[in-house]
């Protein structure tokens, strides 16, 4: 099965294969170029096959995605002059293992082109290319792709003086999506969301409706389950922050 990533770039240039292979080595990948044509094709020992196709035109769908805290500014995305389609074949393992391998392979390309933004196949938003590459590199030591790159977060305005954060991608890893509301002038909500996401991905347990959580021993945030505000038939975990 093919796994795909999209990379928005400033110009339609193929990466230097020698640099791709060198970056791969830094990321624990033993790569070799098997076809220098269009597409470029690499083999990553024990991982899979990487195909790189440069498209000398702007991605027509680049502005259709929502934006989140990890995204470049919309005008930066809109200004991308070309894009690269990264296709990985023969990746095996559970979803997070496959996504980790895809992210590492994609990072070998991102680090060697004028990359603006990246989206893995299951992604809901564009992620800033430089941040994505750094997060992918952390997988070398951590063993899996960090939650910040594996799961997307979007931001919406709620009624009155409140806003919300909604995750996208938790379901792929067998977990429920997270919906957190907070005051617009509150502090630390995004960090709290990411903390909960990391915990949920790493912990095999479940969160019961009616339980309480919080950022301190005194903060008691009641766990609710509500319809997903983005649609779909699966409920999401809702947490309402008071500050």
Rounded distance between C-alpha atoms, residue 183 and residue 185, angstroms: 5
Give the tens place of pLDDT for each residue, 68-123.
999 999 999 999 999 999 999 999 999 999 999 999 999 999 999 999 999 999 99
Rounded distance between C-alpha atoms, residue 205 and residue 13, angstroms: 46
3-state secondary structure of 128: strand
3-state secondary structure of 196: helix
Q: Which two tokens stand for residue 71?
A: 């995204």
The pLDDT-based confidence of 214 (bands split at 50, 70, 90) is low
Specify the DSSP element, H or E, that contains 49: strand 48-55
Rounded distance between C-alpha atoms, residue 152 and residue 155, angstroms: 10
C-alpha pair distances (Å), 33 with each of 5, 42, 46, 98, 106? 19, 4, 15, 21, 15
CA end-to-end distance (rounded Å), the chain: 45
Give the tens place of pLDDT for each residue, 150-166.
999 999 999 889 999 99
pLDDT at residue 226 tops 80: yes
Helix axes 17-26, 95-110, angle to 10 degrees: 130
pLDDT at residue 1 tops 80: no
Q: Given the DSSP bridges, would you call strands 48-55 and 82-89 parallel, antiparallel or unpaired?
A: antiparallel
Rounded distance between C-alpha atoms, residue 194 and residue 170, angstroms: 12
Specify the DSSP element, H or E, that contains 149: helix 147-150
C-alpha pair distances (Å), 16 with each of 28, 130, 134? 19, 18, 20
3-state secondary structure 171-184: HHHCCCCEEEEEEC
DSSP letters spanning 72-89: PPHHHHHT--EEEEEEEE
């Amino acid at each position: 099965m093919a796994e795909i990533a999209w990379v928005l770039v400033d110009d339609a240039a193929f990466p230097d294969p020698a640099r791709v292979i060198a970056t791969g080595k830094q990321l624990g990948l033993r790569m070799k170029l098997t076809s220098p044509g269009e597409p470029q094709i690499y083999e990553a020992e024990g991982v899979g096959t990487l195909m790189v196709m440069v498209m000398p035109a702007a991605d027509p769908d680049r502005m259709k995605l929502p934006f989140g805290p990890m995204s470049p500014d919309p005008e930066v995305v809109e200004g991308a002059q070309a894009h690269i389609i990264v296709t990985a074949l023969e990746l095996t393992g559970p979803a997070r293992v496959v996504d980790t391998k895809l992210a590492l392979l994609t990072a070998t390309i991102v680090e060697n082109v004028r990359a603006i933004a990246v989206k893995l196949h299951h992604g809901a938003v564009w992620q800033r290319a430089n941040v994505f590459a750094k997060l992918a590199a952390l997988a070398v030591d951590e063993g899996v792709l960090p939650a910040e790159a594996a799961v997307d977060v979007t931001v919406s305005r709620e009624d009155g003086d409140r806003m919300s954060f909604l995750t996208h991608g938790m379901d792929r890893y067998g977990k429920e999506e997270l919906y957190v509301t907070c005051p617009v002038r509150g502090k630390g909500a995004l960090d709290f969301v990411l903390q909960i996401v990391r915990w949920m991905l790493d912990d095999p347990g479940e969160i019961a409706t009616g339980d309480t959580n919080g950022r301190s021993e005194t903060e008691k945030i009641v766990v609710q389950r509500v319809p997903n505000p983005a649609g779909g038939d699966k409920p999401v975990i809702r947490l309402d922050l008071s500050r």
